Amino acid sequence: MTRIHSRPLLAALLAISLLPALAAAQEAAPPMPEDPRAPRFKEVERGFFTGFEVGYLSLFKTPTADPVKFPFAGAGGGTASGMLVGATLGYDVSSRVAVSLFALGGNARASVSYGAFSVLAAGLDLRVALLGASDKYGVERLHVYLHGRGGGLLTTPEGLLGHTDVYLAGGPGVEYFTHLRHFAVGLAADVAYLTKAKAAGLAITPTVRYTF
């Protein structure tokens, strides 16, 4: 009877003694292979970015700042239109908010008697995306936003439209974050205003940006 009952006891003791070895074997087991379908990078990059814009600039009126210096310009040259080129350097505060520094340069021509002039502006831009749309994989790639910008402006020749001014602009835009991750393309339509010249205008610019 003693021998019969000792066998289960020995088996139990043997199992208990093997538990640490089994646990160590489980800890030493190789990790599961990584799922090849799992994304290894961000679908849309956010952070520091640089941008480029080029498009159309129009001022609805062009008053003459110094009629003595430009007697043939009269009281003004009427509507002026031309080309606008700009660059930005900024940071995505969040997926929907971005702040950046901007610089713009352009040339516009009014009436024949008034002639052409150049503008150069620089300042701060704030953009807020109000709407977003995702692709079939659930990645938000399309943004509809509002932005505003303001800064100093220089015009040449001095005395025609003026010389120094304050540039204010803002309006809606759309931006699409491409499958190239770092690149986004868009289109902005801004209402612009020169505070000293009291001249309103319109700027329509396609945009491209690269996020680092």
Residue 11 φ/ψ, nearest 5 degrees = -65, -40
Instruction: Return the C-alpha torsion angle 113, 118, 123, 128, nearest 10.
Output: 70
Q: Is the pLDDT of residue 123 over 80?
A: yes
Q: What is the CA radius of gyration of the chain?
A: 33
Measured distance CA(88)–CA(129) in Å, rounded:
17
Question: pLDDT band at residue 25, thresholds of 50, 70 and 90?
Answer: low
Long-range (24+ apart) CB contacts under 8 A made by 39-43 are 41/181, 42/181, 43/137, 43/139, 43/181
**Do the Cβ atoms of 97 and 54 come closer than 8 Å?**
no
Residue 122 φ/ψ, nearest 5 degrees = -155, 145
- pLDDT tens-digit map of 176-206: 999 998 999 999 999 999 999 999 999 999 9
- pLDDT tens-digit map of 82-91: 999 999 999 9
Residue 1: predicted pLDDT: 44
Residue 197: predicted pLDDT: 96
Write out the two tokens for 46. 């956010």
Instruction: Look up residue 24 and give its amino acid.
Output: A
Residue 29 φ/ψ, nearest 5 degrees = -65, 145
Distance of CA 38 to the CA centre of its chain: 27
Instruction: Return the C-alpha torsion angle 178, 50, 102, 171, nearest 10.
Output: 10
Measured distance CA(52)–CA(88) in Å, rounded:
6
Q: Closest by alpha carbon to 207, among 179, 192, 185?
A: 185
Measured distance CA(23)–CA(185) in Å, rounded:
55
Question: pLDDT band at residue 12, thresholds of 50, 70 and 90?
Answer: low
The beta-strand segments (E) located in the chain are 48-59, 80-92, 97-109, 116-134, 140-156, 164-177, 183-194, 199-211
pTM of the model: 0.78
